[in-house]
Structure 1
Amino acid sequence: MTKPDGLGEVDGLDGVGVWLRQRLPGLVVESGVPGAAVAVSVGDDVVEAAAGVLSTATGVGATVDSLFQIGSITKVVTATLVMQLVDEGRLDLDAPVREVLPEFRIADERAARQITARQLLCHIAGFEGDVFTDTGKGDDALERYLGVLDGVPQLFEPGGMFSYNNAGYCVLGRIVEVVRGEPFDVCARRHLFAPLGMSHTAGDPYEAIVHRTAVGHVERAPGAPLEASAVWALARSNAPAGSMLAMRPRDLLAFARMHLAGGLGPDGGRVLSAESVRAMRQPHVTQPDIDQGAAWGLGWELFDLSGGTVFGHDGNTIGQSAFLRVVPERGVAVAIVTNGGRSRQVYAEVAGRVLGELGGVGLPAPPVPSPTAPAPDAARSDRYVGTYRSSTSETTVSRDAAGRLWLERTPLGVIAELDEAAYRTELVDWRGDTLIPVEPERGVHAPLAFLGDDGQGHALYLHTGRADRRVSR
């Protein structure tokens, strides 16, 4: 089979490896990404490549053994630890969380009594999810974190809809600690990383420092040059949600291959039951129409793509982004890690090639606004106009004299402290009550949906994957 890009007769996984090593150096430059590493597996066979630098401040080159933070892909690790407890008969997913954590409190006492581990796993518990309070670096960080949730508001009834919830995964991490009687990071190493041979995986900066480790890069203002971040990781209290875990792509694939193998580790030992592996990939909730994935299972995001089903997860932390995609029918997995810049451009080209050539599935084209897309008409615009707030941002949607709709988002709290840039864009029609921004953010036009009703004909939520509640007209 002759390749149009000059790979000649090289085919299959080896051909992808040749292409990766040739293409990745140029791709990171074109994408403004300081450094990236990629691993691809078919069955137990792996090819990998790396390019660029781990930090623009030091110029240290990225290698295939370099550690990058995987951000929220950590949530699937946490979900797997939880499902191990289910396998052992030590946790009932549908029992109230308070049966294990009687101290669990949020602002809505009635909701706190009802919320279950299953609802936390698939992001339908309904309380404010972006709580990044630093409760210290000690082994009691998660225990103390539970104490700061008592004022967190309930956005909707438990089970009412999908809203991505970092805090919920911190609660799940505390469940693992209480049932196991050990700190979360110890549980992860003992019950997952060691059995899977994940030798280049770090649960905190103290472990990461002995490896060749990437630093995130951020824009201090829109369009400004990327700078190496002065902060490497978020607080330990958010570790189960993805604030610290770092690894090389090959180690991330070792975790994915266990799921592909029905829960068996590399030595044939049982790490997770086949029943739990299947349960984690069963759809539990569909997402709003924002083009982010068809559904969510217990930890995994589920994508219904042309040619087959794919599961995976993305991760974003301070200036770093990671992507994991798995095609179960073909035994194919790809892990992509980056440390700044237009990371989705790297993801789109690499994952598009790998999933298409080896997995037989096609990635959809990223959403982009039509040059002729109109602003919503006045009646619909009135439904959308207002201010929406979460603990990490305040978003105002306004209409100008010409009838054009504008979105302005201001970072709040810990996100503002990390010098996250404000964002302003015009919104135009896309699909129904889902609009699309004209100006990209980090190279992406991410659609957003206006959902619900405040009782006066206005949308109650601005949904971007998270449900931000209306706070003013």
Structure 2
Amino acid sequence: MTKLNEISDWLRENLPRLVAEHDVPGASAAVTAGDEVVEVAAGVLNKNTGVEATTDSVFQIGSITKVWTATLVLQLADDGLLDIDATVRTYLPEFRIADEDAAARITVRQLLNHTAGFEGDLFTDTGRGDDCVEKYVATLHDTPQLFPPGEMFSYNNAGYCVLGRIVEVLRGKQYDQCLRDHLFAPLGLTHAATCADEAILFRAAVGHVTQDEDAGPQVAPLWSLVRSNAPAGSMLAMTAGDLLKFARMHMSGGAGVLAEETVRAMQRVETRVPELAIMGDSWGLGWEMFSSPQGTIVGHDGGTIGQNAFLRMVPEQGVAVALLTNGGRPHDLYQAVFRHVLRELAGVELPGMPEPAARPEKIDAERFTGVYTSSVAERVITQDADGRIWMELVPRGIMAELSPESAMKTELVPWRADTLVAAEPVQGIHLPLAFVGDDGHGHALYLHTGRADRRVAR
């Protein structure tokens, strides 16, 4: 029996149990090693209908879409139609944000590696027409610049929508059609959908959200985010098996879809991420990288409305794992599945998740206290008379619309230098918060959770 067969047996035996244990309505997993692929599914696609999750079911892949968008951009570079070190305005002269100097200097590379520096969590609905991405980019004219282009990493959904528009302009067709023509077709995908209208032609998962712990995950009120954010991950859905076809291409020198050197460049470290432990410690051109004592793990995660997706590759060994879920505690399920599969199949350990000390030390938190804002949240960090540190989270924008109940007050404790961590877990995660920069008076400039939120008040 091969190692992959053993993994297949383990998944068939354990995935149903793990799905139930972590309150995940349904999940689909696929694993590849060399030329072989195994797929396993468990649970249901929709708690209201009870439709069974199967390996031919499509789930949203969320922000894993960004690697698909990056691949479309790098294909343009391979074809001699684009230079990633050219400015965005070389290809989109109309590109505007609030900071004119930054708008003129931001490069395609900086969009790809999330160092462009402007506010990124903007989910403006510009309709469902084929011009929605074009219209979305036009709405960015008053978007604030958080830091100079290239200075540091800050995850940027809006930047990937701009990349999607560049693809549209240089290919002369709408983003979804670019996906079909330049990725779906050459990869031989049979169960992939660019929107809800296509997804309903398959067995399609719906997201589930938890608003009442006693009631558990319930069907989400919406299937997807807005179409204008499709290049960033609001729409794309597929089976775990089709997602692995994409991963295998990236582990096989491009397989005619990308040049071999381009594949290597996408997986090369471009920028470091503040020490957060819930995401990769570095980023390439689209790909996220996770350092392990046994080697580098390459991947990306995705989250939409009640759906979460996870993809990891160990390219040197030709091993990749995909997990698609539709609610509950998906990160706990991810940890259980990926730790076992990557350890047994590739001898690689996932990086550990943050855990607060049993007896956290008391510190002077003046460097951290203050008000930090973004388009989706306001975070107020305070320290009380007993020395305890607190974060009050107030959702804004789309987060206030979708999850008004997400407002909360959380105790924070020291974790590592310049990083605090939530004392209590939320959905199995002790959220870490890194504090970056110095205002010259001993206070951090940014609160970093993967996104850099600017400090606006003490």
What TM-score, normalized to structure 1?
Answer: 0.95
Partner of 1:456: 441
- Secondary structure of the residue aligned to 2:86 is coil
Matched, 1:401 2:406: no
The within-5 A match list for 1:403-442 is 403-419=387-403, 421-442=406-427
Partner of 1:471: 456
User: Using the alignment, how far apart are the partners of 1:68 and 1:280 within structure 2?
Assistant: 25
Question: Structure 1, residues 142-164: CA drift from partner, whole Å, max 9, x if none?
Answer: 11001110111000000000000
Q: What is the Cα deviation at residue 180 of structure 1?
A: 0.2
Q: Contact (CA 8 Å) 1:71, 1:315: kept in 2 or not?
A: yes
Matches within 5 A, 1:288-367: 288-291=274-277, 292-367=279-354
Contact 1:52–1:62 (CA under 8 A) maintained in structure 2? yes
Q: Does structure 1 conserve the Cα–Cα contact (< 8 Å) formed by 2:313 and 2:320?
A: yes
1:458 deviation in Å? 1.2
2:257 corresponds to which residue?
271
> Residue by residue, what CA displacement relative to the aligned partner does 1:78-115 show, whole Å, maximum 9, x if unpaired?
00000000000000101110010011000000000000
| 1:445 lines up with 2:438 in the alignment | no
Alpha-carbon distance in structure 2 between the residues aligned to 1:61 and 1:76: 29
Is residue 193–residue 238 contact of structure 2 (8 Å, CA) maintained in 1?
Answer: yes
Q: Does 1:190 align with 2:181?
A: yes
Please tell me whether residue 282 in structure 1 is matched to residue 268 in structure 2. yes
2: distance between equivalents of 1:271 and 1:364?
31
Paired AA for residue 361 in structure 1: V
Contact 1:201–1:248, Cα closer than 8 Å, also in 2: yes
Structure 1 residue corresponding to 2:41, chosen from 32, 37, 50: 50
Aligned partners of 1:35 and 1:339 also within 8 Å? yes
Q: CA deviation at 1:224?
A: 5.6
In the alignment of these two chains, the number of paired residues is 456
Deviation at 1:221, TM superposition (A): 5.3
Q: What does 1:55-454 correspond to in 2, within 5 Å? A: 55-220=46-211, 225-264=216-255, 270-291=256-277, 292-375=279-362, 377-378=363-364, 381-419=365-403, 421-454=406-439
Indicate if the aligned counterparts of 1:307 and 1:361 stay in contact, CA closer than 8 A.
Answer: yes
**Distance in 2 of aligned mates of 1:432 and 1:394:** 23
Secondary structure class of the residue paired with 1:61: coil
**Unpaired runs of at least 5, structure 1:** 1-9, 265-269
Q: Secondary structure, in 3 states, of the residue corresponding to 1:148?
A: helix
1:15 aligns with 2:3: no
Q: Is the 8 A contact 1:393 1:409 kept in 2?
A: yes
Deviations 1:414-464 (A, max 9, x none): 111112522321111111111111121221112110111223321110000
Q: State the identity as a percent.
A: 60
For 2:99, the aligned partner's letter is D
CA contact (8 A) 1:115 1:125 kept: yes
| Cα deviation digits, residues 284-338 of structure 1 (max 9, x gap) | 0011111222210000001111211110000011111100000111100000011
How well do the aligned residues superpose, as a CA RMSD in angstroms?
Answer: 1.1
Task: Using structure 2 for the length normalisation, give the TM-score.
Answer: 0.98
Aligned counterparts of 1:30 and 1:422: Cα–Cα separation in 2: 27
Distance 2:281 2:381 in 1: 27
Whole-angstrom CA distance in 2 between matches of 1:26 and 1:225: 17
Find the aligned partners of 1:172 and 1:60 in 2 and give their Cα distance: 37
SS at match of 1:329: helix
1:104-150 deviation digits (Å, cap 9, x = unpaired): 00000000000000000000000000010000000000110011101
Q: Give the match's secondary structure for 2:140.
A: coil
Write the deviation string for residues 36-70 of structure 1: whole angstroms up to 9, x where unpaired. 01000012211111111111111111001111100
Query: What amino acid is aligned across from residue 283 of structure 1 in structure 2?
Result: V
Residue 413 of structure 1 aligns to which amino acid in structure 2? G
